[in-house]
């Protein structure tokens, strides 16, 4: 049986594959996806998605998230500033709920505390939408605790803070900045079925708006609860929506002026 040197025992089948195995996997990626996206080496070989014989190879993989597809599985250590306790979270903890993973570069930096403050100020609005938020960086839970206690902007911060301190999950999502050893500013909105519905990444020097994340969340919840209706650009709660119909194609100017 072939032996493979890999960075992780479980091989994501969506993303950038090593040159050696690309010819083997590429024609069967669609077939592989039906098995959940992640299979062990033995499972891959059993389902004949990898050869049983061959020379020793070194392969690296990246999951690469995809909107409107199941979000990758994760397990992360977290610091809860309300309880002052350390725990762990996985996808299963959010089953049946909307949740947001809010990645930021690092504790004890400059833009990051302003972003978390912005999120904290909107906490009640997110709670009304029954949405949980977890802030994530490549720091440890101990650094999270020290930062929250020292930084006055984070006084009263209530969200759980996850520690991807080895960068493993950030690398799987392809949002890891290797030179800096930090995650990018990325926000992922996942629906109650575990499906990724929105992903947003911005440059390290630019802080994000909790208000915009909230706006997108409201729009996503609206279309989920109202099949057949869609939200136009910059839609805010209570504003006009569009009911999809072939009869309206090419006539949106009149449709939007009607109300």
Could you confirm whether 231 is annotated as catalytic? no
Q: Residue 190's beta-bridge partner residues?
A: 99, 196
Residues in contact with 25: Cβ distance below 8 Å, sequence separation at least 6, in sequence order: 13, 17, 32, 49, 50
From the candidates 21, 100, 112, 117, give the one annotated as an active-site residue: 112
Structure tokens at 189: 């909105």
Q: Is the dihedral of CA 93, 189, 34, 37 positive or negative?
A: negative
Number of H helices and E strands in the chain, helices first, is: 9, 15
3-state secondary structure labels for all residues of 76-137: EEEEECCCCEEEEEEHHHHCCCEEEEEECCCCCCCCHHHHHHHHHHCHHHHHHCCEEEEEEE
Helical pair 112-121 and 210-225, crossing angle rounded to 10 deg: 50
Structure tokens at 141: 């839970």
Query: Using CA atoms, how far apart are residues 174 and 137, in angstroms rounded to an integer?
Result: 14
Closest CA to 178 of 189, 167, 162: 167
Q: Are the beta carbons of 19 and 27 closer than 8 angstroms?
A: no
Residues identified as active-site: 112
């Amino acid at each position: 049986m072939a032996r493979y040197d890999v960075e992780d025992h479980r091989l994501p089948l969506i993303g950038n594959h090593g040159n050696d195995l690309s010819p083997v996997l590429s024609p069967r990626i669609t077939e592989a996806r039906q098995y959940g996206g992640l299979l062990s080496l033995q499972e891959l070989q059993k389902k004949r998605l990898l050869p049983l014989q061959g020379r020793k190879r070194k392969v690296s993989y990246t999951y690469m998230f995809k909107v409107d597809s199941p979000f990758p599985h994760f397990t992360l250590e977290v610091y809860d500033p309300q309880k002052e306790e350390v725990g762990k979270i996985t996808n299963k903890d959010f089953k049946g709920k909307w949740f947001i993973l809010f990645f930021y570069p690092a504790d004890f930096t400059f833009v990051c505390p302003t972003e978390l403050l912005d999120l904290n100020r909107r906490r009640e609005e997110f709670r009304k939408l029954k949405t949980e938020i977890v802030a994530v960086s490549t720091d440890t839970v101990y650094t999270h605790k020290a930062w929250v206690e020292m930084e006055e902007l984070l006084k009263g911060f209530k969200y759980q803070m996850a520690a991807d301190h080895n960068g493993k999950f950030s690398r799987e999502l392809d949002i890891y900045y290797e030179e800096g050893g930090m995650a990018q500013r990325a926000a992922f909105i996942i629906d109650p079925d575990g499906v990724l519905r929105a992903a947003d990444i911005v440059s390290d020097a630019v802080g994000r708006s909790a208000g915009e994340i909230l706006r997108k969340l409201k729009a996503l919840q609206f279309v989920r609860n109202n099949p057949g209706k869609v939200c136009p650009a910059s839609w805010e709660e209570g504003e006009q929506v569009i009911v999809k119909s072939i009869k309206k194609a090419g006539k949106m100017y009149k449709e939007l002026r009607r109300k």
